Each structure stands twice: as C-alpha cells, then as structure tokens.
Amino acid sequence: MSEDHTHVQEFFGARAADWDRKFPGDGPAFTTAVTEFGLRPGDRVLDAGCGTGRAMTALRSAVGPSGTVLGVDLTPQMLAAARRAGRDAEGALLLADVARLPLRDEALDAVFAAGLIAHLPDPGANLRELARVVRPGGGLALFHPIGRAALAARHGRELTPEDMRAEHNLGPLLTGSGWNMVSYADDDDRFLVLAVRHP
C-alpha cells in the first residue's frame, strides 16, 4: 500500500484540479467524522495529508475562532486547489511531509488524517511522528469517507487479512507507535478509527 513520495506527488498532483468534483458527496461524511472526533473550542488540530482541505471547514467549526487549524500536504497542486476553494480561510496550509513535521514536540491537541495511512512509506515511524507533535492524551482520527470493502471494490481488488487498516493489524500498529485505539468503525459509508496518544 505504501508509495514513495515522488509517486504520491505525481499521482495526486495530476488529479488535484478535479479532486473535489470527483467526490462531490463526501462533505457530510467529513463533517460527521470531525464531530465524532470530539474536538473542543480552542484545540490545536493538524489535518495531516489535507489534500484539497475538505476537512478544514469542519475542523475550524469544531475548534472555533480561538483554535488552530493547520493543513499539511506533500503535493503542491493539492494545496493550490485548497486555496482556490477558499479553504485557507479556515486555517494555515503548509507544504510539508508528515514524516518530518516542522512542529515542536507536543504542539498539538489532535491530528485528523483522511485517506493518509495507505500512502505512508513507513506507517509505524510516520504514526510515531504524528504522536510526537501531539500532547499526551491528545487524539488521532484516521478517516476515509467509504469503508475498506467499498474502497477495495473501487480499485478493483479484494480485501486480504494483511490489509494494514484491518482492526487486527491497525490496533497493534497504533499501540507500537504511541497511540491507544479507542474505537474502530469500518462501514460501507465510512472508515473511522479514533486513538489517543499514550501518556
């Protein structure tokens, strides 16, 4: 599932301009996931692998005007599309690699990551980097607007027991990376895993 940075940038860069038009109905799923994440006013949240920033409006609504929303993505074209959509009004957009975030330790209260985990070159190390920038007790949401089976069907493949996002694989991966899984949902219309950073 993992891909090198060049491939990720080429893949998403070529699709950035039409990304939102390709998935026009995803907005409510993002809003519901952010609501279930349980952010509070004043929280500092990172949208990791933010793409065109589809979560940023919901994240801003959750943390309010006193909170901080930061969107980070590896692909310049995705960030440009986010700016064209006006989502930079909801928070700062930064070109950066989630594997080496330019943030101090424990700078954040939470990380929201939509569609990110399948594209991490070293999931264990990369999840540890996300844990580094979140305070103890802070949250992580791993989200996709459709479930694993629907996503596999969309890409013409079958689910296997080795799928990293399967609960029996993802739980230990998170535990070994500084997180405790607190809920796991894999339905046709969404995938949402919530975790809390180890004390």
102-112: pLDDT as tens digits: 999 999 999 99
Q: What is the pTM of this model?
A: 0.90
Residue 16 has pLDDT above 90, yes or no: no
Q: Which residues of 164-193 are buried (b: 16+ CB within 10 A; e: fewer)?
A: ebeeeebbebbeebbbebeebebeeebbbb
- Per-residue pLDDT tens over the stretch 118-174: 888 899 999 999 999 999 999 999 999 999 998 888 888 888 999 999 999 999 999
Q: How far apart are CA 23 and CA 18, in angstroms?
A: 9
Terminal CA-CA length for the chain: 30
DSSP codes joined into one string, 33-57: HHHHHT--TT-EEEEET-TTTTTHH
pLDDT of 9 above 80: no
